[in-house]
Structure 1
Amino acid sequence: MQWRGRRGSSNIEDRRGMGAAGAGGLGIVGTLAVLAIGYFFGIDVSPIVRELDQGQPGQSQPMTAEDEEWREFVSVVLADTEEVWAPVLPQQAGITYAEPRLVLFRGAVQSACGGASSAMGPFYCPGDQRVYLDTDFFDMMASRMGAGGDFAYAYVIAHEVGHHIQNLTGTLGEVNRLRGQMDQQQSNQLSVLTELQADCYAGIWARQAQERFGVLEEGDLEEAMRAAEAVGDDVIQANAGRTPVPDSFTHGSAEQRREWLMRGFDSGDMAQCDTFRASGL
């Protein structure tokens, strides 16, 4: 991916120097949640728990050259999403694009959606319109998931910005309203459709970024597809030693995630990303 030396976004909040929130900040319930998520996804979260347990709230941590490079990379990718969605959203949905902010954190973080740890992966909070990211997740993608590469990491950011698009269009609010009226299986299905649409929006970003900035290098699109497959529910459950159970899926299978990412890339059209209509809803 061609990203070095290009414009970065000013919508970055870097909280990594503030240190981890500490297990004391998360509390017993929060710590148990981290352990539960680590068990489900087959991730050894003990180093994270130890770090949180030993850390002190507000304890400063020195920034390394690698930290600074991650910030620059994330900033450039976020700037590209701004450049893409600023014209695309009004043109295709009749909505003015409001830029989200992206929070870099280490270990644990507080958002308008509550506390979270890095074990939960990147996430978007509609309450404060922020994407939250611990770049250690990228290291895990490369070492544990076989899905490394700069464009794979860019796909992750673009996916979370896709949730921001859903928030602006009202999709997230409607999904949350409906999920409160459904049983668990139906709620999971709606969650899958929401995630697949965000994948499709990430595909639109990739197409537009290539057409406008020529960011793609050889193998980049394959990196993004490998990343989409690696975070499929069936792959995650299988890697955790569990038999994949489709009714329990909340993000979609590897095949679905790759399919919708490519649908967005091939079409460049938000109307083609209507996973809800495609499922008959």
Structure 2
Amino acid sequence: MKWQGRRGSKNIEDRRRSGGGKTAGGIGGIAGLLILLAGLYFGFDTSGFVDLGGGGQTQASTEITEADERAAQFVSVTLADTEEVWAEVFRDQVGQNYTPPTLVLFKGTTQSPCGGASGASGPFYCPGDNKAYLDTDFFVTLDRQLGAGGDFAAAYVVAHEVAHHVQNELGILGQANRIRAQVSQTESNAISVRIELQADCFSGVWARYAEERFNSLERGDIGEAMNAAAQIGDDTLQRNAGRTVQPHTFQHGTSAQRQAWFQTGYESAQIASCDTFSTDNL
């Protein structure tokens, strides 16, 4: 992905130097890893009770490294790209203005109206304040632990969280979450899967527009995003954690589903093609 030297977003809230703090000791070892993998991606805060170090309290570092700064610059450029793309898509396909989200960069821990955030909880979007939250150390996790390296894999992470904001702007997220609060856990999980797969599809729409508008994609970039989608499928995460695959617990979709919906968005470049709520064939 060609991103160096390009415009960054002004909608960045940098909390990295004011973050940190202590994380309480909790479940460690294999049990902790299972919980972490279950909540690792997109909005599940497991940090309060997962301690992969085996217990005790640790002080989160607020040292900002050269790698941190590079990651922050990358996120800023990617966010700026999403702003331009979704403004165009909303104008042409929806007929309304697009209000972009703020992206909160933090290191260690921080707070949001949706609860605590940490590197362990993974990136997430909070509709309570229209902000996406990201500890850029997650990119290291994505690469080294989940096997999804590359600039565009990281861009897919940002684009997915922004896609949740797009859902919020369209009124989809609020309606879906209201229904989730009124049904059983299994039914709620099924709705969550549809929310996440639509966000993957919207990410594909963004990728197609970014390719055509900025000429920023390079050979292999779409493959990086598809690999990232595969590595964070519910079935793959459960297998890699040594667990039996349990479809009724899925909240994000299988690897194949996540790849398929990203591809649908990329090939169609149309919001209308991302209607995961009216199909029986996810």
Q: TM-score, normalised by structure 1?
A: 0.90
2:171 match: 170
Conserved? CA contact 1:48–1:119, under 8 Å = no
Question: Which residue of the partner structure matches residue 3 of structure 2?
Answer: 3
Q: 1:2 to 1:45 in 2, by over 3 A?
A: farther
| RMSD of aligned alpha carbons | 2.3
Residues 178-217 of structure 1 show CA distances to partners (whole Å, capped at 9, x for unaligned) of 0111111111100000000000000000000000011111
Whether 1:39 aligns to 2:34 is: yes
* Matched residue type, 2:74: F
Shift of 1:136: 1.1
Assess if the C-alpha contact under 8 Å between 1:92 and 1:270 holds in 2: yes
CA distance in 1 between partners of 2:125 and 2:32 (Å): 17
Distance 1:104 1:38 in 2: 24
1:55 corresponds, among 40, 53, 59, to: 59
TM-score, normalization: structure 2? 0.89
- Residue matched to 1:64: 65
Q: Secondary structure at the match of 2:120?
A: helix
- Taking a change above 3 Å as real, the CA distance of residues 14 and 36 of structure 1, as seen in their structure-2 partners, is farther
What secondary structure sits across from 1:80 in the alignment?
A: helix
Residue 32 of structure 1: how far off its partner (Å) = 6.4
Distance 2:218 2:88 in 1: 24
Instruction: Report the residue type matching 1:66 in the other structure.
Output: A
Distance in 1 between the 2:273 and 2:187 partners? 23
Do 1:106 and 1:118's aligned partners in 2 also have CA atoms closer than 8 Å? yes
Tell me the residue number matched to 2:205.
204
Paired residue for 2:87? Answer: 86
Shift in alpha-carbon separation, 1:95–1:38, aligned structure 2, 3 A: farther
- Deviation of 1:46 (Å): 2.2
Unaligned runs of 5+ in 2: 41-49
More helix by share: 1
Write the distance in 2 (CA, Å) between the matches of 1:209 and 1:277. Answer: 27
Conserved? CA contact 1:113–1:125, under 8 Å = yes
Q: Which amino acid aligns with 1:262?
A: Q
Whole-Å separation in 1 of the counterparts to 2:78 and 2:158:
7
SS of the residue corresponding to residue 178 of structure 2 reads helix
**Structure 1: distance between partners of 2:182 and 2:112:** 25
Match of 1:16 in 2: 16
2:248 aligned with 1:247: yes
Superposed CA offset, 1:129-180 (max 9, x none)? 1110011111011111111000000001000000000001111111111011
- Once residues 120 and 128 of structure 1 are traced to their aligned partners in structure 2, the CA distance between those partners, rounded to angstroms, is 18
* Alpha-carbon distance in 1 for matches of 2:6, 2:280: 40
CA–CA distance in 2 between the matches of 1:134 and 1:32? Answer: 22
SS at match of 2:17: helix
Classify the secondary structure of the residue corresponding to 2:132. strand
> Does the Cα contact within 8 Å between 1:48 and 1:107 map onto a contact in 2?
no
